[in-house]
Amino acid sequence: MQPKMIPALALALCGIWVAGCATRPSDSETERAVAEMIKASFKTRGQATVARLNQDDAQALCSKHAGELPKDVSDGIEKAQQATIRYPSSGKLMGDWREGERIAQSGVGKQFTDAPTRPAGGSCYNCHQLSKQELSFGTIGPSLYQFGKQRGASEAIQKYTYGKIYNSQASTACSNMPRFGHNGVLTEEQITHLVALLLDHDSPVNK
């Protein structure tokens, strides 16, 4: 959004209130109400505890700056998130693409209805096109079809891909994509399988 548009938009927003802007609740009043609701309207169920509603720095900043992320904030988030990435101690970044496809298909994990012992899926197809065969794919993220074919599978590309899945916000602050490794959704090994799904020459993604 261009800065000069903001006053006009603010005026337009005022217009929707019958009683005018003067009686809108103040920001601090709204903030108090939200904090109260977050405390009173949710309850722990199964593995989904109320502690999950406590935001970390990135979550708080992304919520606050939704829509217009200032450059310094975004740089700060990326730098902090970059520092969280842990690579597998084996040094091996490419796993088995077949396993990767299974993980990419699965959307289970971390819901209060999921068994906590069951490994989470990557929900990849929820948001991305990957292999050509799967017609049911989402579009919140870009198509990853032929991801490896276009980029190759050099060590640098492997590292980038692993890092992107481990912590998407290391390269894109406030990305819609979960920080799968950093937040403990996927294991390091699971991530290497997804790297293979994206980069392996034989993976259906690159056919």
Partner 1 sequence: MRIDRVLAGVLAATLPCLSPAQQDTQKEIERYRQMLQESNPAELYEARGEELWKTRRGPRNASLERCDLGLGPGVVKGAYVRLPRYFADTGRVQDLESRLGTCMVTLQGFTPEEAGRKPFSGTGAPMITTDPFSGVGQRSVMTDLVAWIASESRGMTIAPSVSHPKERLAYQAGERLFYYRAGPYDFGCVTCHGEEGKRIRLQNLPKMTNAKDAQRAFGTWPGYRVSEGELRSMQWRMWECVRQMRFPELEFASDASIALITYLAKQAEGGTFDAPAIKR
Partner 2 sequence: MDARRREVLKTGGGVLALAAAAGIIRPGEALAQEWNKAAFETKSVAETVKALGGRGSTPSSAIEITAPDIAENGAVVPIAVESKLPRTQALAILIEKNPNTLSADFEIPAGTDPFVSTRVKMGETSNVYALVIADGKYFHAVKEIKVTIGGCGG
Applying CB under 8 A, the residues found at the interface with partner 1 are: 16-19, 23-25, 29-31, 33-34, 36-38, 40-45, 48-50, 52-55, 58-59, 62-63, 66, 101-102, 105-106, 110-113, 125-127, 132-140, 169, 176, 178-179, 183-185
Any contact of residue 135 with partner 2 (CB under 8 A)?
yes
Radius of gyration of the chain (CA): 21
| Partner from partner 1, partner 2, none binding residue 184, C-beta < 5-8 Å depending on class | partner 1
User: CA-CA distance, 165 to 181, in Å (whole number)?
Assistant: 7
Any contact of residue 126 with partner 2 (CB under 8 A)?
yes
> For residue 48, what are the β-bridge partners?
45
Any contact of residue 47 with partner 2 (CB under 8 A)?
no
- How far does CA 93 lie from the centroid of its chain? 21
In angstroms, what is the minimal distance from the CB of 111 to partner 2? 6
Residue among 81, 97, 100, 123 that touches partner 2 (CB under 8 A): 123
Q: Which helix (H) or strand (E) holds 155?
A: helix 155-166
State both tokens at 25.
């609740």
Report the residue number, 95 or 182, with the smaller CB distance to partner 1. 182
Residue among 76, 107, 119, 141 that touches partner 2 (CB under 8 A): 107
Cβ neighbours of 129 (radius 10 Å)? 19
User: One-letter amino acid identity for 145?
Assistant: Y
CB contact burial 20-34 (16+ within 10 A = b; e otherwise): eeeeeeeeeeeeeee
Residues in the site for partner 2, rule: CB under 8 A? 105, 107-108, 111, 113, 123, 125-126, 135-136, 138
